[in-house]
Every structure is written in structure tokens, then in C-alpha cells.
Amino acid sequence: MMHYSNWLIGVKNRASVRNACRTPPNNRASVVDARNNNPQPNGKRCELTVATHLWKKGYKTIKKIGEGTFSEVLKTQSLKDGKFYACKTMKQTINSLEQANNLREVQAMKRLSPHANIIQLHELIFDKEMGTVSLICELMEMNIYEFIQGRQTPLPDHTVKHYMYQLCKSLEHMHSCGIFHRDVKPENILIKQNVLKLGDFGSCRSVYSKPPHTEYISTRWYRAPECLLTDGHYCLKMDIWSTGCVFFEIMSLNPLFPGVNELDQVAKIHDVLGTPDQSLLQKFKQSRAMHFNFPPKKGTGISRLVPNCPAPALSLLYQMLAYDPSERITAETALRHTYFREIRLAEKKADTLHRVSVAIDGVESSGTHSCMQHIWRPTKLGKQLRGRHTRQTPLMSHNMKHAAEPLIRRNVPHYPTELPKLNMVLPRPQIPLTVSTMPAFTATHRGTLPVITSKKCQSQLAKPRDESHRTAFKNFYMPPLDRKHGGY
């Protein structure tokens, strides 16, 4: 118990130090400017100056829609296209445009864009005189906190499932890009027409950065145990813990661990999940200079807090809220959980239909193009030949007549053009012609060629015929030839 008291004293001391260090960078800059007899203007004057600068850049300020410790958000309208945007103006003083582009939030938004569940950066505006940076982003309707605030009845299960699936997709995209958010909470999750997007990347870090990280990070209610019990030794799994807390809050409309301070936060976690094993606590102790010892406690469990929660949702919730970060589920694995099976099947079906439609459109366009080539090529050839000859062939006239017909009245084949039908002329009454057999002849050549003599070929099986039969006449019938335009 003595170790626990010492740990509590250490927590209070660190909290007081953090409260003293919460002064925004712009306040520290104001102190420096005041020493140089160049004090910063007041808040109203700053707002007017920012509004004037935005007007010069083509944006009209509508109203303020939010304010935080390090920034404020304004609703603006573009003077070019009339569209509405969210303008996030940093309170931090920036010295150059290069420094503005190197801000962690700006770099993260550029790397993560475009994605269906990530807030998109439209434009960056830098005011050199004031040293302020404004981020013009897409405007959403509200955040999750505003959406569930004041509700008396829980949300439908399909709505909760739809929102959580999109949140997991945003985290999976972030983590695959080498970034973790570090401040996932309902206020930073925005929605518009059933579309969820993750925003506010001012606290994000690279997954390849080595710990220890900043201890005082994330909002307390959504802070993971490794953030509370270690000296900044945490990783991207802290985003999954925060997502589990948001998951519970969307289902129950109440926060899961509403601690009033860091010690109470740990106590509330243990009340629900129970005190972890000593082996796990030993891992946390290795990264903290101060020792702590928690009394053993058996948690009440999450199922009692949400008795109507479906079994797949409860399973995913427990995997997200695993005390040990190494056993906590990843965003990629969460997307394959049974809880999201219906959404995955619907997405797969829609994707298959889209691919089939694209393939059909491609085949139709390519087939029509090839058929058009087969149709129009003989016509062009006929035009060239008409310049050389004084008449048309039947094939050319047939193709020209076929090409003149509209495409909608006939089925265009996807194979090479069929041969035209030939106009057969029926034979007229047959006229007998007498043809005699030609006698054998010999020819003498002046060269070295041998003399060609006629030889009689006769099958061995055939019987010899008499001489009178060989001298008989044979009748042959040949159809008359029609003359067209002076030719055959």
C-alpha cells in the first residue's frame, strides 16, 4: 500500500507539472513579443484580421463552429464556387510558409489523402504578417459527441455497426501509412450523411518513432493503460483502445471510463476489467521510474453495462479493450471480425457488380469501335477506288448500302463483317455444245527439253473400251454470260 501511495504522489506531481506546461505556444510567443515591446493583439482583433486575410484569399467567414486549446474552427464559404468549408486556424505563430508545410498535421493530411474516411485538406493559407496558418478542409455536419448528446434511446445496431466499420477503416489506412492518431475520441470523429471521417491530426506521430513518447497525450477517458502506467512507452495499439471506448459510448450513450484524474482513470478501468496479472504489471514497471502496486480486484465486466449488446459486438469490444497491448486486436483484423460480416458481403457484392459493369462497358465500347471500323473501312476504300475505276463492284455497293443503315436498326456483330450474299443468276435453257477430243500431238523443242508425248492413262480395274467409243462425241452445257456495262 505504501508503494501505491507513493505512486499517487508521483501522479499528482506530474499532473501539476503538466498543467504548468499546458500554455499554448502562442502564449509563450506573446510573452516574448511583450518583452520586445511588441504585444500581440487581443482575440477579437485577431479574429477580424484572420477574417480579412481569408477574404483576400477568396473565403468569406460565416461563423465560429469550434475552438480548442491550439486552434479554432470557422465555417467559411468560397467566393469562387460558393461551396462551404471548415477553416481551422492555428493559434501557434508560424514564421514561414515552409514551416507551415512542415507541420505534423499538414504532413499527415497530405499523406493520408485521399481516403473516404479521412478529412481532406483543400488548401493551406499562410498569413505572413500575423504568422497564422489556416487549413481549409471539407465541412462535415457534426461530430459523434454532438450526435449522441441528449439522446434518450440507443442507436440502431446497423447504424453503430456502419460507423464503427468506417472508423476501423480509417485507422487501418492510417496505420498502414505509418501514422497513429493518439487522440481518437468522439469530438474528433465527424459524420455527414452516414459517412464517418476521422479528423484533427495535430497529435499524430509516426509508428517508426522510438519511445518514450509524450506522456500527456489523448483525452483522459480514452487513454490506454500503457499511456497511464508507463513513461511514454506506447504504440499504435493505443488507437484501438480509444476506438473500443468510442464503440461502447456509441452503443450505450455513456462514457466507459469517465475518470476525474489519472488515478481515478486507472481505478475505473480495474473496476470493469479487473486488476491485470503481476506479469503484465511487471512489464509496465520496467518503463516507469516509480513503483506501483494495485490491490487485486475482479472486474464487473462489460456485458453488465450493455445487457442488450449482440454477442459479436461484445466479442469485438473485449478484443479492442485488451489490457495488454500485445494481445489487443489490430485495425486490419478488426475489419475481418464476424461483427462486420454483413457489411463485407455487401461491399464484395457491390464491387463485383461494379467490375462486371465496367467490363461490359469496355467490351461494348471496344466491340462497337471495331465494328464501326469494319463498316466504314470498305466505304472509304470504295471512295478511293471510285477515283480510279469507272464502275463499282457488287461488294462495294452492298457494303455502302449496309453502312448507310442506322446502327440501332440492326445488330452489330462483335466478329468480322460477314460476306455479302451473292445474287445468283438462274441458268437459262441449256444449249448443247459439241466438243471433240483433242488428238495427241508432238512438239519439237530447240533446247535440251525432252519431247513431250501424250500418253493414255487407264485404270487397271477398268475394262478396255472399243475404238468406236473413244471417237464418240460428248455433250457439255454451259450457262450464258450476262454482259454488264460492256464487260463480263
> Which residues belong to the annotated binding site for ATP?
88
CB 127 within 8 A of CB 53: yes
DSSP type of residue 435: E
Query: Which residues have a Cβ under 8 Å from the Cβ of 94 and sit 6 or more positions away?
Result: 100, 103, 126, 131, 132, 133
Distance in angstroms (rounded) separating the CA atoms of residues 116 and 429: 82
Distance in angstroms (rounded) separating the CA atoms of residues 174 and 208: 13
Q: How many residues are recorded in the chain?
A: 488
- H or E segment to which residue 16 belongs: helix 2-20
Residue 314: other Cβ atoms inside 10 A: 16
The region that residue 37 occupies, defined by phi over 0 for left and psi between -120 and 50 for alpha, beta otherwise, is left
Q: What is each CA distance from 68 to 74, 89, 100, 279, 399, in whole angstroms?
A: 12, 10, 19, 39, 75
CB 173 within 8 A of CB 118: yes
Burial letters 110-128, b for 16+ CB under 10 A, else e: eebeeeebbbebbebbbbe
Instruction: Determine the residue type at 327.
Output: E
Catalytic residue annotation: 183
Distance in angstroms (rounded) separating the CA atoms of residues 403 and 68: 70
In Å, how far from its chain's centre is CA 287?
Answer: 39
- H or E segment to which residue 278 belongs: helix 278-285
Q: Which residues define the annotated binding site?
A: 88
Closest by alpha carbon to 381, among 359, 362, 397, 402? Answer: 397
DSSP type of residue 222: G
Q: Please give the grid coordinates belonging to residue 75.
A: 465555417
Strands (E), 377-448: 432-435
What DSSP line would sit under 168-218, residue for residue? Answer: HHHHHHHHHTTEE-S---GGGEEEETTEEEE---TT-EETTSPSP--SS-S
Closest by alpha carbon to 104, among 218, 201, 215? Answer: 201
DSSP type of residue 73: E
Distance in angstroms (rounded) separating the CA atoms of residues 186 and 174: 17
